[in-house]
Structure 1
């Protein structure tokens, strides 16, 4: 099924270019081809980690991660991501929540960004750690990083500058994807990891290449707004397919 690695490559490229991992769309693509829903979050979260690790390292080297605030937001959400991964869920419920999450995530990408010049954060910005907690639970439950929901909230409240928000989102996705995997393995057994990873090496290679190209090159050729619109269109399409069956 040659189109699946291509879909993972394009997803990693587009999501990495705006600071995300792409776990939501990986999950949708796997669900659409009938992949075992119990193993699906493990593959999606692993792909997330592959994509955002490189982004996080680059952000750290450039000194743009606001470490204290970024770690607070991420570490508050991480235990909830573990609990989400630990939560039993039926296939129909899983696919419904995943589809709804994708549509919401796509719409969130279309929300207007606050102008960079507006330096003063909104009063709601100080409560982002509380908002991050349920996002962590959702991340672990359906195998997404949660950053695609967090980033619009950070932009709307002018929590930080755009580059710092992208860096925070990458760290958030990395930590919560790892916590989600631990929860999934605790629920289904550690042997599930080998079962999930069997045969998906082409997908992992695709996201490595796509993630590197996305974070290094994509923004040099396409405006961020265009990339966000394309990503939103793909995300909403995939979510709608799941919801409509």
Structure 2
């Protein structure tokens, strides 16, 4: 029954997240936390699903011309090694749960904020490569530690600082999430983590959800109502993770 429930919820998480260039890790972690999946399986599962969905999102947004190598390269240069480093660290349950809970609460906050979609017509500000290298390192480490791709932190940062427009941010976030998730998963597996036997089923459902969401999102940003519904789920899951650590 848990497999069926998770499959349905994973599908909708992939559908929504991919529409804004994200892989959906915070959504996957949220539903796994609600269902009661053990923490040792949460991180590798979220990263595997993240890799597939973010690769689809990147392809769709890149094909639509929504990408910037100038932003992506310095971010990825430091994020990749730090994501691997974070992935090798297996946090005990009483530490992992509150950290992931805090990440989910932050994701809920960002989902509420992003319900008011920013315009593509805005005055942009320049950013130095040195600052992007620092940002990449910090988000990469956090990604590996928690099993998220870092997009829920990168996207609002890029939008708030006006370093790029929403669709470009979505494309950059998708690529950033992909490389972080691959690197983080390699670190997780090197530390002896196990992959759940149900993973092929979940990969199939997020493949469909991710393709549909990314195809829609590369042409039009996500529905504000869906973002608010997602925020409620993330809020409940985050509070549950923190309360039960």
Task: Output the TM-score relative to the length of structure 2.
Answer: 0.88
Per the TM alignment, residue 73 of structure 1 is displaced from its structure 2 partner at its CA by 0.9
Contact 2:107 2:234 (8 Å CA) reproduced: yes
- Aligned partners of 2:74 and 2:127: how far apart in 1? 17
Cα distance per residue 1:172-207 (max 9 Å; x no partner): 00000001001101112xxx4xx4141222211111
- Kindly state the Cα deviation for residue 237 of structure 1 after the two structures are TM-superposed: 2.0
- The 1:221–1:79 alpha-carbon spacing in structure 2 relative to 1, beyond 3 Å, is closer
Match of 1:132 in 2: 136
| Mapping for residues 41-60 of structure 1, pairs under 5 Å | 41-60=43-62
Deviations 1:216-235 (A, max 9, x none): 23687985433332332222
Structure 2 CA distance for partners of 1:137 and 1:222, relative to 1, 3 Å: closer
Match of 2:99 in 1: 97
Please provide the CA RMSD for this pair: 2.4
Query: What are the Cα deviations for residues 109-162 of structure 1, in whole angstroms up to 9, with x where unaligned?
Result: 333665533323176897243223221111111111110111000000111121
Quote the offset at 1:91 in angstroms: 1.1
Task: Say if 1:58 and 1:123 are closer, same or farther in 2 by CA, change over 3 A.
Answer: closer
Q: Say which of 142, 160, 164 aligns to 1:156.
A: 160
- Quick one: distance in 1 between partners of 2:76 and 2:231? 24
Whole-angstrom distance in 2 between the partners of 1:107 and 1:124:
27
Q: Partners in 1 of 2:111 and 2:99 — Cα distance?
A: 18
Residues 35-57 of structure 1: per-residue CA shift (max 9 Å, x gap)? 33223211110100111111111
Please give the residue correspondences for 1:33-72 in structure 2 after superposition, counting only pairs within 5 Å: 33-72=35-74
Whole-Å separation in 1 of the counterparts to 2:49 and 2:102: 21
**Aligned equivalent of 1:215:** 214
Matched pairs, number: 240
**For 1:144, what is the secondary structure of its paired residue?**
coil
Structure 1 residue ranges without an equivalent (≥5): none
Larger displacement relative to structure 2 (79-88 or 171-180):
79-88
Aligned pairs for 1:95-244 within 5 A: 95-111=97-113, 115-121=119-125, 127-188=131-192, 192=193, 195-217=194-216, 224-244=223-243
